[in-house]
Amino acid sequence: MHTNYYFVYGTLKNGHRNHHLLGGSLKVGDFTTKPEYSLLDLGSFPGVVKNGTTAIHGEIYKVSSQEVEGQIDLLEGYQPHGKNNLYHKELITIENKPVYIYILNTSVVDIAKYSEISSGKW
């Protein structure tokens, strides 16, 4: 069976407008990353960048559908091997579990235009 874990921190979280895209994915729980990132307010959604000092608060979902993964990738502007993706999809470890997270592609997004959310919560 195909299964991956995803750390979501914005509109895919429970109660937010794109949560339905997760379909029947199982919520594992609420988690926080290591304080190695910055969370930016991009207006109607947030973005995470590396090399910061903020722990990002979010939720981890167990995704067992390639269709759901495709929907999430599409929402996040991600294509495998795409150079102009809005986000990169990367594996990180949270509490000894490998999970995917979407990291802003700073070669496409001018992050200097956006304010940081110092709490790490969107």
- DSSP element (H, E) containing 66: helix 66-75
Given the residues 36, 59, 67, 76, the one annotated as active site: 76
By CB atoms closer than 10 A (0-12, 13-18, 19+), residue 14 is exposed
Active site residue 76: yes
Q: Which residues are catalytic?
A: 76
